Amino acid sequence: MSEERVRDTRITCPHCGHHVHVPVDLSEDEQDYLDECQACGGDIHLHLFLNTGDDRLHLLINADDEQLY
pLDDT tens-digit series, residues 2-61: 557 888 999 999 999 999 999 988 888 899 999 999 999 999 999 999 988 898 899 999
Assigned domain for 69 exists? no
What's the domain count of the chain? 1
CA 65 – CA 69 distance, rounded (Å): 13
Give the pLDDT score at 60.
92
Q: Which domain holds residue 32?
A: 3-63
Task: Supply the pTM of this predicted model.
Answer: 0.76
CA dihedral 19, 28, 53, 44 (to 10 degrees): -30
Residue 50 resides in a domain: yes
Q: What pLDDT score does 38 carry? A: 92
Question: What does the pLDDT read at residue 69?
Answer: 44
Residue 65 has pLDDT above 90, yes or no: no
